[in-house]
Amino acid sequence: MNFEHILFSIEAGVALLSLNRPDQLNSFNAQMHGEVKEALKQVRHNPDVRVLLLTGEGRGFCAGQDLSERNVAPGSSVPDLGESIEKFYNPLIRQLRDLPMPVICAVNGVAAGAGANIPLACDLVLAARSASFIQAFCKIGLIPDSGGTWTLPRLVGMARAKALALLGNRLSAEQAEQWGLIYRCVEDAELRDEALTLARHLATQPTYGLALIKRSLNASLSNSFDEQLELERDLQRLAGRSEDYREGVSAFMEKRSPSFKGR
């Protein structure tokens, strides 16, 4: 598939997906949704891919939905935004969250609306110091979507989540790190290199086991304690049968560096 609105490449186990509508601050239209969906499908089914790095081109990460696709002029039919959520945004969030590999997001500029919540579906979020997160939905009479009403209270607590959602204030990358919304804030010039270094490191690790870690931590947010203990048992059983586990133990016993294959 030839992509127009994203950049997509795979190298050394790392899939790099970059939103590429810089003149529109990488806001989503239907075509970009389709291209991202296809790229994520390739990531999932390509055995050579062990890590996904998501970022944006230009001065912004993503401004959310391209509102020029929405006709809200007087006399026009009322748009069904729930249909848009069901068709585009919910599948995107589920794809990112359910990928059986680490997903890194490098937020290179403003992240607003859905663009502020898409990174929160990823596993590790780095943000440039000049980046910011804005729950802009309240400014146009909408609610946070793309998982925002679920992730925000769990990451920053209900009081801060309500403040972000009801006020729509700009949250700096530095403050986002302090609040626990993201993993790290880095200098602008270092963001891409830092993110790629992290992605390349993870691609050399036992990514089958990392996928199970991701799965177990995600499940812990809704499981009871007993359910989580049972899940740990079941996933540890799977991990113990993996080639990576055998290689890790062998390398430790033989005092050499391991060579993990992600299976």
Is 59 a residue whose pLDDT tops 70? Answer: yes
Please, which pLDDT band fits residue 67 given cuts at 50, 70 and 90? Answer: confident
Predicted model pTM: 0.93
Q: What is the pLDDT of residues 28-55, one digit of tens each?
A: 999 999 999 999 999 999 999 999 999 9
SS3 for 90-136 is HHHHHHHHHCCCCEEEEECCEEECHHHHCHHHCCEEEEECCCEEECH
* For range 2-16, the mean pLDDT: 95
Q: What is the pLDDT of residues 134-164, one digit of tens each?
A: 999 999 999 999 999 999 999 999 999 999 9
Q: What is the pLDDT of residues 210-230, one digit of tens each?
A: 999 999 999 999 999 999 999
Is 74 a residue whose pLDDT tops 70? Answer: no
Q: What is the pLDDT of residues 78-131, one digit of tens each?
A: 778 889 899 999 999 999 999 999 999 999 999 999 999 999 999 999 999 999
Q: Residue with structure tokens 């959520």?
A: 85
Is 69 a residue whose pLDDT tops 80? Answer: no
Q: Structural domains in the chain? A: 6-203 (3.90.226.10), 207-254 (1.10.12)
Rounded distance between C-alpha atoms, residue 168 and residue 164, angstroms: 5
Which helix (DSSP H) or strand (DSSP E) does residue 207 occupy? helix 207-220
AA letter at 60: G
